[in-house]
Structure formats: C-alpha cells, structure tokens
Amino acid sequence: MIQIYDVYTARQSILQRASGLDKFYSTAVAEMVEKVFGSGVTPSQAVTEIVESVRKNGDIALQQWSKKLDQVTLNDFRVSPKEMLNAYDSLTAQEKKALKDARDRIRVFHELQPMPEWQTTALGGVLGQRVTPIDRVGIYVPGGTAPLPSSLLMSVIPAQVAGVGQCIICTPPSPHPSILAVAHLCSPVELYQVGGAQAIAAMAYGTATIPKVDKIVGAGNLFVTLAKQQLFGVVGIDALAGPTETMIIADSTANPKWVAADLLAQAEHDVMASAILLTPDLELAKEVQVEVARQLEDLSRANIIARSLRDCGGIVLTSGIDEAIILANDYAAEHLCLEVSNPQSVADKITNAGGIFIGDRSFEVLGDYVAGPSHVMPTGGSARFSSPLNVLDFVKITSIIALDPQTSMEIGQSAAEIADMETLTAHASAARIRQGENCV
C-alpha cells in the first residue's frame, strides 16, 4: 500500500534529499563489497582499487574483474558488427518499427536543438564563438535488473547529431540482444561488453582494446557513479546520476487509474526509485491508493515496486495546487508530470525539473522511449542547476578574439589598470608595451 503523508511529514521523509551518494549505500551493497574486497572496505575504496588496476594493467585487469565480479571469462571484449546485425535481424517486425520510431523522433528533436556559432564586429574587429564536436565519446549502458536499449538510443543519437567522431559503448558482459540491435540501428558505433567501474576506467584511460575517450556519459549503478566521480578531470563527465524519480501533481480532474499506473511505472525501475504524488484532493489520494494495490497484483516486478513505494514513494496531501508547485520546485524532480485541469498554467510556474510532462496524454513513459528528448535527465535535485543530456553536451565552445588595432589600443589601458589592481605587473606591461609606454 502506498502511504499518504501530510506536507510536514513528507518534508521530513520522502521529500528529504540525501546528501552525496549516501543514499546508495544499502546493507546489500556493503555485504557484497565486504565479500569481494574484504572487511572494512567501502564502496569508494573498492572503486579506487578497480580504477587503479585498470589504469596500470589495462585489458588484463578488465579480464580479472569480469571474472571476479561478473563471473564470466572473456578473451575478446569487442562485439562485432555481425553480432549486432544478427541481433537486429532476430527482432520481430513490430520491435524493429518501435526502435526505428524512437530513433527517428529522438534524432529529429535533437537536430532542432541550436548550437549557436556566431561572430560580431560590434566590439571592434571580430569576436565570436566556434562550436566543434568532441572527438571521441564513451557511452555507458547499464545492464542491471533489466536491459535498457532505450538508454543507448537516448545517449548515442544526441552525440551523433552533434557530430562526435567516434562513439564507444560499454555495457556489462553478455548484453541483451535488444542492446546489440540498437547498436546496429545506430551504426557506426563500437560496442564492448565491459561493465561497472572497470568500464568507466577503461574508457577514461584507454586499454589495448578499448580506446581512450574525451567524455563519458550515461547512468549506471553505485560503482559506475563512484568511478565517474573519481575520474572527473581525467575525462569529461556528464553527471553523477542517482536513482530515477517521478513527481506527479494531480487534482480532482485526474484519472486515478492513470495516476496509479504512472507511479507504478516509475517504481518498477529500482527499489530506490522515487514515485511521489502531490495532490490537494483526499478523495483522489484514496482512489490512487486502491488502484496502486489493484494494478500491482498483475505486474512482473511487483516486489521491486512494492519496496520502492514503501521506502521512497508516497502521496503528499497539499493545501492546494500552489503548495504543490512550491514543493515541486523545491524537490526539482527528474520527471514532473502535470495531471491537472489546466496543466499549462502550472507548467508556467515550474522552474526546477528535468522534464515537464504537460497533461495526462504526455505521460512519462512516452518520454522514456519515443517522445523525442533524451531521457537522461538530472536526478537528486540537480535539476536546480543542470539539464537533460543534449547536443551541447557533445560539443565544445571556443571563443574567437580577433580585435582590430584601434580597439586593441582603446581597451589596452583598461586592461593595464585592472592588471595593476591585481598586482600582476607582467600583465600590465604586456598591455602597455603595445601602446609605446615603458615597461615599469
């Protein structure tokens, strides 16, 4: 049963953001780390050991960790184009159409995103910015408890639209055929069956088999996230992704069956996924409770869903829609769904969300697969300051400065004065020497 909270209690519990990565440190994770790495070793220390071994020993370390952590012996990490093609050919016609529909909509959406390259002569000479794609990008596709070919689509297509030269994909050993099929559908790509922290380290440092990349994107488990955290600076990183989350604002006009289905879909991802409903309508809250319990009985991942809703989800009874909006902006959810009578008016007041799903026909599951925007969105409240994965994540902006002589002379004295304030005499001299003044 999903629980109903008052606002005060919700703020102290399900709306409370965990600091850092502490939320991931479950008893099960601690036990696994101790079993593999020894007593007293933290997940962060375990990841450091993995990363350092890959840095020093490359493919040999990858083989050792694959055997130790994934219980597989691999002599070749690379998945051939033929294997990808065979996986694609094994799909039904309906499955192929679904993946192509998703690919095409995601591509069209990202082709419409602007990559502003411009120049101006308004400030003297030529000033502007140049946009160039990143040379080589690594994309991590998690295996986990369910295959996620959609995550590959949502990451590789924006990179390709941006013009990235080479896309390197890592996913845990024995990848699901659907992931291989998507890799074929998005060719050319290179796919390697290496998972976890060792995959992140391999892409960051490079090995004899896996090329070194310039930036790594894509969500993963705790160990993937810790590896990205530790390797930031060695390689570019998109974000440190936490558990996925959906918040729904609904009023008395909402369909309780649909609201319940949306909560269940979110909770299905993981026991730590958050599915939260904000509503001022007690009757709706009770009806959603009943619908959640009824629909849960028929779902294959009922145990995961039940634990997710018990530990991380809930229904919050607000004083009105305005209070729900305040709570939503404070929480800054990855997905914010508006199932209210006038959803656009509520959307206009939302300032913090990875994606806003406006109206009950724009439900979040469509965003997961086929709507168009990347479903790789900011989690853990980071929607307050960051954005969904997009083409700008795969390019670099370079400033262009080509001043004319007159402008250079006019602003040179100001540069020298500021340099003097900073007591940087060589800076000041470099500005004044061009104006014929003594270097003193």
- Widest CA span in the chain: 85
* Residue 57: strand, helix, or coil: helix
- Catalytic residue chosen out of the listed positions 245, 268, 291, 334: 334
φ, ψ dihedrals at 61, nearest 5°: -65, -40
- Catalytic residue chosen out of the listed positions 245, 335, 364, 375: 335
The secondary structure element, H or E, covering residue 357 is strand 355-358
To the query of whether residue 334 is one of the catalytic residues in this protein, the response is yes
3-state secondary structure 172-237: CCCCCHHHHHHHHHCCCCEEEECCHHHHHHHHHHCCCCCCCCCEEECCCCHHHHHHHHHHECCEEE
Q: Report how far residue 144's alpha carbon sits from residue 147's, in angstroms, rounded to the nearest whole number.
A: 7
Nearest one of 292, 419, 370, 327 to 104, comparing CA atoms: 370
* Residue 136: strand, helix, or coil: strand
CA distances from 303 to 66, 291, 296, 309, 383 (A): 29, 17, 9, 10, 29
The secondary structure element, H or E, covering residue 356 is strand 355-358
Which residues are identified as catalytic?
334-335
